[in-house]
Amino acid sequence: MDAAEKKLFLGGRLKRLRRDLGLTQTAMAVDLGVSPSYLNHVERNQRAVSAQLLLRLAETYDVDLRALGRDGAADEAQIREALADPVLAGLDVPRHEIVQLIDDQPALAEALLRLFRAHDARRTAQATLGQDAVEGPADWVREHVQGRRNHFPELDALGETLAADLEAEAPGEPFESRARARLKGRHDLTVRTVPAEVMVEWTRRFDPHRKRLLLTETLGPSSRAFAVAYQLALTEHGPELEAMVAAAAPPDEGAGRLLKTALTNALAAAMLMPYGAFHALAEATGYDLGRLQARFGVSYEQAAHRLTTLSRPGARGVPFFLMRVDQAGNVSKRYAADAFPFARFGGSCARWRLFSAFRTPGRVVTQIVETPDGGRWFTMARTVDRQGHDGFGEGQDLAIGLGCELRHAPRLAAARGLDLAAPQVTPIGPACRLCPRHPCAERAAPPLDRPLAVDDWAKSVSPYPFRGG
């Protein structure tokens, strides 16, 4: 059959788009000028998607149709990865069944991926920690946020509205001043900065009886502004945040509280860095983090984190991933706008320059890495202050790794001057006990699934040579 004659079935993806937009079939049918029954048939893959319907989708909802087409390919790769797990050896699921699952039952496909990720995270933890690991509230919240691709359009909309209101109330004033004035004027809530010895362990604490927000003196300007934005978000949109938490159905109270904190942080960031303005400047400057920091008065970490949330249809940014670690390799943040190479390849590889960033505090270090699945990624690493320091005290004991697929690198100011056509690539792997790469001089532990090949007569660069490498 000629390519032009092939029918296009996008039922599952169209259904996903409709649900992301919060529309009923009837409402979307009215928007697109088609009958609800026709749309129902399209979503069930009983009718092909016409060129006219695709054009109406693009015009009505500002949808990037290329991204709509890519979503299925990305999901297919993720499902294939899950089905390739040794536990499922011998099933040999054909491609057409995988595609049918994704298109017809996207919720089941997502459920399969979540089960696989939970299983894989437990197995990885057992390999790296040498003990049984139980998924906790933080793991659940991380999976929920990643399930949304770290994108919450409802919070972006609220944030843009609040930012516009604040600007209208006090044009030209710094964000913190405007937010403090709104808290005082509308909610009779004051903000005070107090000595660190009074706050002890707390960087921010709200006293509901005296209606005071107390901030430690060790917070720098960007962290102080974020703390005030957080309180304003919680004060003005507490019910909406609670409703989002309830809809997510957390497994326990701890997970629910952590999720509310994460959502409130997202709304605070959306106020400080309104989506439209932030995305426009990012595109215009080649995602120059220094320019973004200066324009919006935020820290490097705040700007980097915001870059992982730019997934608005019609105004998508480069799909970044972010990881934050300490010098011992503990991961305290992990977010991604799309594919996340270190979801399985945990980021603890000594070959990744994320960890060498500690030797050059405050300096951005770039690197092109290749994961065992053949994916290539452009990465940037830089140290940042731990919360509560912001340049005070020792600080600089955390590192941020930010990156994207190599094909997006030409859009980045940080990649200018590099040979991206024939780049210098560093192969990296997951935690040593799971890494298939051999030989590797940095290997710190033998692999779990390969027999060792130690030879009395020869010495490898790796302390743990193995067969099949």
Q: If you search the block for the tokens 């609670």, which residue do you land on?
A: 242
| Residues 336/377, Cβ–Cβ less than 8 Å | no
CATH class belonging to 300-427? alpha beta
Least confident of 306-310, 421-425, 465-469: 465-469
Average pLDDT, the chain: 84
pLDDT band, residue 117 (cuts 50/70/90): confident
CA 221-403-73 angle, to 5 degrees, is: 130
**Share above pLDDT 90 across residues of the chain, in percent, rounded to a whole number:** 43
Contacts of 38 (CB under 8 A, 6+ apart): 29, 47
CA 77 to chain centre: 18
Intervals of CATH 1.10.10.2910 along the chain: 153-272
pLDDT at res. 96: 80
**Per residue, what are the HEC states of the chain?**
CCHHHCCCCCHHHHHHHHHHHCCCHHHHHHHHCCCHHHHHHHHCCCCCCCHHHHHHHHHHHCCCHHHHHHHHHHHHHHHHHHHCCHHHCCCCCCHHHHHHHHHHCHHHHHHHHHHHHHHHHHHHHHHHHCCCCCCCHHHHHHHHHHHCCCCCHHHHHHHHHHHHHHHHHCCCCCHHHHHHHHHHHHHCCEEEEECHHHHCCCCEEEECCCCEEEEECCCCHHHHHHHHHHHHHHHHHHHHHHHHHHHHCCCCHHHHHHHHHHHHHHHHHHHHCCHHHHHHHHHHHCCCHHHHHHHHCCCHHHHHHHHCCCEECCEECCCCEEEEEECCCCEEEEEECCCCCCCCCCCCCCCCCCCHHHHCCCCCEEEEEECCCCCEEEEEEEEECCCCCCCCCCCCCEEEEEEEEHHHHHHCHHHCCCCCCCCCCEECCCCHHHCCCCCCCCCCCCCCCCCECCCCCCCCCCCCCECCC
Judged against a pLDDT cut of 70, whether residue 70 lies above it is answered with no
Task: Please state which of the ranges 14-28, 119-133, 252-266, 366-380 shows the lowest mean pLDDT.
Answer: 119-133
Largest CA-CA distance found in the chain, in angstroms, rounded? 80
Look at residue 393 and tell me whether its pLDDT is greater than 80.
Answer: no
CA 373 to each of CA 84, 87, 342, 402: distance values in angstroms, whole numbers, following the listed order: 12, 19, 11, 19
- Sorting pLDDT into bands at 50, 70 and 90, what band is 12? confident
Q: Give me the architecture of the 8-134 domain, per CATH.
A: Orthogonal Bundle (1.10)
Q: What tens digit of pLDDT does each residue of 210-224 get?
A: 999 999 999 999 999
The first and second tokens of residue 439, run together, are 């030989």
Residue 415 CA to residue 378 CA, distance in Å, equals: 8
CB 436 within 8 A of CB 447: yes
Question: Partners of 398 in the beta sheet?
Answer: 326, 384
pLDDT, average across residues 100-116 = 76
pLDDT at 351 over 90: no
Query: Do residues 62 and 55 touch, judged by C-beta distance below 8 A?
Result: no
CB 224 within 8 A of CB 215: yes
Most confident among 122-136, 170-184, 365-379, 454-468 (mean pLDDT): 170-184
Please tell me the least confidently modeled range out of 185-189, 302-306, 370-374.
Answer: 370-374
Least confident of 57-66, 345-354, 385-394: 385-394
CATH class of the domain defined by 153-272: mainly alpha
Mean pLDDT, rounded, for 313-323 = 92
Q: Which region among 14-28, 91-105, 335-349 has the lowest average model confidence (pLDDT)? A: 335-349
Q: 439 with 458: CB under 8 angstroms?
A: no
Residue scoring higher pLDDT (2 or 438):
438
Band (pLDDT 50/70/90 cuts) for residue 182 is: very high
* Residue 60 to residues 28, 31, 52, 111, 313, Cα–Cα distance (Å): 10, 7, 12, 30, 11
The predicted structure's pLDDT at residue 410: 96
What is the pLDDT, as a whole number, of residue 214?
Answer: 95
Whether the pLDDT of residue 104 is over 80: the answer is no
Q: What is the mean pLDDT of residues 127-143?
A: 65
pLDDT band of residue 411 (cuts 50, 70, 90) is: very high
Residue 264: predicted pLDDT: 97
- Rg of the chain in Å (alpha carbons): 24
pTM score: 0.73
At residue 175, the pLDDT reads: 96
State the amino acid at position 167 in one-letter form: E
Angstrom distance (rounded) from CA 27 to CA 36: 8
Cα–Cα distances in angstroms (integers) from residue 263 to residues 150, 402, 430, in the given order? 10, 21, 30
Regarding predicted confidence, which is higher, 69 or 428?
Answer: 428
Instruction: Over range 324-346, report the average pLDDT.
Output: 75
Which band of pLDDT confidence, cut at 50, 70 and 90, is reported for residue 166? very high
**pLDDT value at residue 124:** 61
Residue 207, strand partner residues: 212
Residue 200 predicted with pLDDT over 70: yes
260 phi and psi angles, rounded to 5 deg: -60, -40
Averaged pLDDT for residues 318-344: 81
Mean pLDDT over residues 61-79, rounded?
A: 60
Task: Determine the pLDDT at residue 132.
Answer: 42
pLDDT band at 343 (very low <50, low <70, confident <90, very high): low
439 prior amide bond cis, ω within 30: yes
Helices 153-169, 275-285: inter-axial angle, 10-degree rounding:
100
Question: Which residues belong to CATH 1.10.260.40 in the chain?
Answer: 8-134
